[in-house]
Structure 1
Amino acid sequence: MKMKLAVLTGGGDCPGLNGAVKWVTKSAMDSWLSSKRSINFEVIGVTEGWRGLVDVNPEDPKSLEKYIRPLDEETVRTWDRYGGTNLGTSRTNPFNPKNDRSEILLDNIKKLGVDVVVAIGGEDTLGAAYRLHKLGVKTVGIPKTIDNDLMGTDYSLGFDTAVNVIMEEIDRLRTTAGSHSRIFVVETMGRHAGWLALHGGECSGAYIILIPEYPFNLDEVAHLLQERKGREIRYAIIVVAEGAKVAGRDEFIQSGKMDEFGHVALGGIAKYVAEEIEARTSFETRHLTLSHLQRGGTPSAHDRLMARWYGIAAVDMIINEDFGRMASLQRGEITSAPLKECIGKLKLVDIEKNYDKDRYNGRRSIIG
């Protein structure tokens, strides 16, 4: 039996994507494994995410060359060492109600002879994969989002590397903050979930961490900083997620322009908090937005390992005909979860379990 797999990466890029593509390809085309199963796989990589499957013209060789890449073990041999995505990505939504191209998508999948689509992405990308599954296309998902906010899994590709970037940048920031006795407000990504800010802040020893799940009071932030003064501490680091909100206010919007999934760009909260702190305390305060630095760089050891495990699991799911599901990590074990249960709701920080509301930081009591 011959089966053709199409693998794509959608949404924001991050370290770990190339490793997932590598291990889908190597697991599917492994000659030793092939001799023990009844399926022979062909693997193609789709460039630019869902856009590639929508815009490709299967009857035009130039279009095929642009959007479709034949993959084999030799091609992907070194991919797991590199960040970003060699296949490219986009925020294209083939089911966008303002520009629904789902019929074109289905027609192209049929013309390309694709039997299974392996989608690597976050809630939006996997949401499109689920809708495709409901239309009769065999789909399998691999979780990717540096926000680590996907339901159905304890871990999403890219999160560990992004936390390491936050930690490393704050480590560098401390030298100049201490030299000038300044407060620095560092803005991380995190639209709805504060996992990046919380874990990045905890790892780097931030004094205050502000997250979307718990609106904060600026007077209380200022009080915490003033309370610290005189303890021979010359500076302070505050980490704030881009989606964090001042009590009674909405999040800060960088641009009102929406992407195809209905999202606007957030940003500007760090600048506002820094200005308000300086006005309330007279402490010299600066702000820094890490932005896309968090998506860059080579994958950490953990992301390389998870990419391997998820890629292998995706092929296992295909062999076992577990379609419409996503590879996942639950309680330390690799398993799978229905795509239906992984979209439509986000995994947010549990304030009572993980956050100290009085000190605006991680809890200092874990058990009990």
Structure 2
Amino acid sequence: MLKASRKQMARARQGTEEYYQFIYLTSEFINHGRLLMKMKIAVLTGGGDCPGLNGAVKWVTKSATDQWLGSKRSMSFEVIGITDGWRGLVDVDPDDPKSLAKYTRPLDEEIVRTWDRYGGTNLGTSRTNPFNPKNDRSEILLDNIKKLGIDVVVAIGGEDTLGAAYSLHKLGIKTVGIPKTIDNDLVGTDYSIGFDTAVNVITEEIDRLRTTAGSHSRIFVVETMGRHAGWLALHGGECSGAYIILIPEHPFNLDEICTLLQERKGREIRYAILVVSEGAKPVGQKEFITSSKIDEFGHVALGGIAKFVADEIEGRTSLETRHLILSHLQRGGTPSAHDRLMARWFGIAAVDMIINEDFGRMASLQRGEITSVPLKECIGKLKLVDTVKYYDKERYNGRRSIIS
């Protein structure tokens, strides 16, 4: 019987230890998937800016890169921000360092730590439509996503931005949506980021307007945003105590408006505030437009209805009337507490959806609970004001009876 030397036995023991160490590391590798399951998330903001966007980007980043949560997950994440919305993913040249620096930004917890305090979008935005039938750049988009090594695209936006995200999803790219629009007209969610802050802006501006309106005994017509949905005008008007509110969902009769104003004349009230959505229109007429130029999603710019209504009122009643267009003021300023909270919830939900592989869906608030809905159910139609439930068609204002 042959006897092994001490050196041979030591090598055998060392080999056994190395073998078991290999088995252990392989097991850990398989169980935790640190290398196999690393994913790159690209987050972008599209369409009109609004307060709360930065908060959503922050919480996507913080949730994805949180080390404590990472120790409990089967995957790890890298997050990059895409500047200027879909335009960033279309125009970036992945082989050019200067282009990469212009259109992409690495994000981590330290970088985004204070972002939720600020309005607008630090990533920038645009109304670029990569699927525009007149200028289809979807192949460039797909190629850039592949070259950048992006695994998931998180798109924060309204119907147009999320429509592009859905088109991308149909082409095989993993996408997740976060609802954003001050119009609050997205189907599938009770709330969209930016709405509460915009309503607060309307309320604050009308509060200021009352002092000059009362001083001069004037009527003021205030124009808000709201192309097809009157939620901004309705809630802004209700919160500010407007006498008359005009919304796109119910064409108005100018004779009836003037009668309501004449009835108020002579009482102790020296002025009146009317709030009108930019998409509101008189009976039998179309929306007022400021420019016939069509953007990449097929929209024209609306506006001018407040001046029209003010001129008509003064001409028909001789009551001194002025108009004010709030315009982009509604998109500005720091986010309200509610928008900061919703940005947090939606950002966290987006990462949960990625982990659960719920792609092609949008984070959603329904009946007070955070959930998700298919993107295809959120586009092609809008959530409009139910004029039976929420609108008094005779007084042109919010309902004064809620429980029916």
What is the distance in 2 between the residues matched to 1:152 and 1:58? Answer: 35
Q: How many Å separate the matches in 1 of 2:266 and 2:289?
A: 36
Partner of 1:115: 151
- Partner residue of 1:204? 240
Inter-partner Cα distance in structure 1 for 2:143 and 2:270: 63
Partner of 1:72: 108
CA shift, 1:162, in A, is: 0.1
For the pair shown, the structure with the greater C-alpha radius of gyration is: 2
Specify the alignment match of 2:264 in structure 1. 228
Q: Which residue of 2 aligns with 1:9?
A: 45
- Shift of residue 40, structure 1, vs aligned partner: 0.6
Tell me which of 126, 138, 141 is aligned to 2:174.
138
Q: How does 1:344-355 map onto structure 2 within 5 Å? A: 344-355=380-391
Where 2:226 maps in the other structure, the secondary structure is coil
Tell me the distance in 1 between the aligned counterparts of 2:383 and 2:100.
38
Q: Which residue of the other structure, out of 74, 83, 89, is the alignment partner of 1:53?
A: 89
Structure 2 segments unaligned to the other structure (5+ residues): 1-36
Name the Cα RMSD after superposition. 0.3
1:361 and 1:269 map into 2 onto residues whose CA distance is: 17
Q: In structure 2, which of residues 315, 326, 331 is the aligned counterpart of residue 295 of structure 1?
A: 331
Amino acid at match of 2:71: S
Alignment deviations for residues 32-52 of structure 1 (CA, whole Å, 9 cap, x no partner):
000000111000000000000
Larger deviation, residues 94-103 vs 227-236: 227-236
* Amino acid across the alignment from 1:239: V
Give the C-alpha shift of residue 230 in structure 1: 1.5
Q: What amino acid sits opposite 1:12 in the alignment?
A: G
Q: Of residues 58, 72, 75 in structure 2, which corresponds to 1:36?
A: 72
**Aligned position for 2:25:** none
Q: Does 1:63 align with 2:102?
A: no
How does the TM-score come out when normalised to structure 2?
A: 0.91
Deviation at 1:229, TM superposition (A): 1.0
**2:304 is the alignment partner of 1:268:** yes
Displacement over 6 Å in runs of 4+: none
2:360 is the alignment partner of 1:324: yes
- Which digits, 9 at most, give the CA deviation of each residue in 1:314-367, with x for residues without a partner? 000000000000000000000001000000000000000000000000000100
C-alpha separation between the residues in 2 aligned to 1:229 and 1:84? 42
- Give the aligned residue type for 1:126: L
The higher relative CO (CA closer than 8 Å, separation ≥ 6) is in 1
Partner secondary structure for residue 293 of structure 2? strand
Q: Distance in 1 between matches of 2:75 and 2:38?
A: 6
Task: Give the alignment partner of residue 128 of structure 1, picking from 150, 164, 168.
Answer: 164
Mapped to 2, the partners of 1:15 and 1:58 lie a distance apart of 30
Q: Structure 1 residue aligned with 2:345, among 301, 309, 327?
A: 309
| Residue 25 (1) aligns with residue 54 (2) | no
Percent identity reads 88
2:23 aligns with none
Secondary structure in structure 1 of the residue aligned to 2:281: coil
**Distance in 1 between the 2:196 and 2:290 partners?**
26
Work out the CA distance in 1 between the residues paired with 2:84 and 2:247: 31
Q: Within 1, Cα distance between the matches of 2:243 and 2:334?
A: 28
Aligned to 1:139, the other structure's residue is in SS state strand
Q: For residues 98 and 337 of structure 2, what CA distance do their matches in structure 1 show?
A: 38
1:256 aligns with 2:286: no
Cα distance in 2 for partners of 1:171, 1:237 equals 10
Alpha-carbon distance in 2 for matches of 1:64, 1:225: 58
Count of aligned positions: 368
Output the CA distance in 2 between the equivalents of 1:235 and 1:47: 46
CA distance in 1, matches of 2:290, 2:403: 39
- Please list the CA deviations of residues 1-45 of structure 1 after superposition, one character each: whole Å capped at 9, or x if unmatched: 100000000000000000000000000000000000011100000
